[in-house]
A and B are shown apart, each in its own frame.
Chain A
Amino acid sequence: MATVGETQRTLYPYVTGSSVVAIKYKDGILMAADMGGSYGSTLRYKSVERIKPIGKHSLLGASGEISDFQEILRYLDELILYDNMWDDGNSLGPKEVHNYLTRVMYNRRNKFNPLWNALVLGGVKNGEKYLGMVNMIGINFEDNHVATGLGNHLARPILREEWHESLTFEEGVKLLEKCMRVLLYRDRSAVNKIQISKITEEGATLFPPFSLKTYWEFSAFKNPTVGAEGSW
């Protein structure tokens, strides 16, 4: 870290979470993330909840530095508390929370002291579904399906092929499991303990963690360099 006398700021992350994948489906948003917290190349923590409900209408999933995610949750706690204290029947929806997060991330980036996260914010309010993403330099957008980190490389192409407007809950879960399985095979910081959450008009549900079935008997895995010595 920087020496005493200079302003301390983030230079690199320490405990990190890997990808988050989320999709819009018929009734709302489905979000999936594994429960791993890596300390460099060690899979140090295996029960990290990286998806949390925010207020009545939103779910927040985070990848990147876990301590920064916990700090963001503290900011959002305060935001939601003040919102409730107005006691005016109105409550912050996913669009508002996403905008707030974007401003926080952008402002930290302006001070060269980023919150080292890529955040996925999904929710439903008054029947309108919303799914957005914001990363540590403030880039933000919304779409029908989003992913962070390696999920952009591995999950988004699957979602582009197979996502459609009227996915049922079961179809959505199957689709997310497909994405998480690919990430499990190919992302070295993934752990086989997945949490799926959904949010609908009725509210948020965090399902208990589960493991995906994997198959390691593919012949290509047995003799990977056959026919191409020196390759992986």
Chain B
Amino acid sequence: MTKQHANWSPYDNNGGSCVAIAGADYCVIAADTRMSTGYNILTRDYSKISQLTDKSVMASSGFQADVKALQKVLSARHLIYQHQHNKQMSCPAMAQLLSNTLYYKRFFPYYAFNVLGGLDNEGKGCVFTYDAVGSYERVGYSAQGSGSTLIMPFLDNQLKSPSPLLLPAKDAVTPLSETEAVDLVKTVFASATERDIYTGDKLEIVILNASGIRREYMDLRRD
């Protein structure tokens, strides 16, 4: 007698796109607020962005229940870290923690596609980009989620990243000003909304810099 397989899946894709761009002394993290399932929209006003520490902000798209669980695990671990070390985690430390947390569930993954943005120990912007099982890399900018294939080539074109083949490794942090980077993010989402059915409704932008944290919103097409 063959083993009966579950005819339901523990996963679903709730769609959406996330972007992060690192600057000389700021970091911009953005995501749309649409939550879908199949061809339905569940809600137009769901935030995919989670502030983990004063200096790190994570945006995640994919399967919403796993994203929520991941955010909870990370903020619980951060709380323990603060109790044990009497200080907040740095962004590179949080990046490693996120990677380890994802790999921990290597054989039943969190279906979450993350970008972590923030300020490193020197106050420079940093962006870390992940796959679902925790492989990560520090980059100058990244896009994840359903619109990433539309957004990433455009960011490559605009942010003029030097070739990774060059030695010594050149910093890919953008020379753009903060306002220019925010404008770029708005443009990029407006374009992704046109062609990706899972991206739209509203854009949430979080800007981290030396003076703290700021939020901006922009309406996107609702179709």
Contacts and interface: CB of A to CB of B under 8 A. Distances in A.
Contact of A137 (B11, B40, B42, B46): B11
Interface-centre pick from B3, B4, B63 (highest chain A CB count, 10 A): B4
B65 A12 contact: no
B65 A141 contact: no
A139 B10 contact: no
B209 interface: no
B64 A141 contact: yes
A61 B155 CA distance: 45
Interface in B140-167: none
Given A11-B4, A12-B7, A152-B40, A139 B45 contact: no
A141 B11 contact: no
Contacts of B8: 114, 136-137
B69 interface: yes
Contact of A143 (B6, B43, B66, B69): B43
B1 A3 contact: yes
A106 B43 contact: no
Contacts of B10: 109-110, 112, 114, 137
Number of contact residues on B: which range applies?
20 to 34
B6 A11 contact: yes
B65 A106 contact: yes
A140 interface: yes
B69 A106 contact: yes
B7 A139 contact: no
B3 A140 contact: no
B64 A140 contact: yes
A186 interface: no
B170 interface: no
A26 interface: no
Interface in B68-85: 68-69
A231 B92 CA distance: 61
Contact of A138 (B42, B46, B65): B65
A219 B86 CA distance: 75
B12 interface: yes
A140 B12 CA distance: 12
A152 B11 contact: no
Contacts of A9: 6
25 contacts: A2-B4, A6-B3, A102-B65, A102-B68, A106-B65, A106-B69, A109-B65, A110-B108, A133-B42, A137-B8, A137-B12, A137-B63, A137-B65, A138-B69, A139-B37, A139-B42, A139-B63, A141-B35, A141-B42, A141-B64, A142-B43, A143-B42, A152-B40, A153-B40, A156-B40
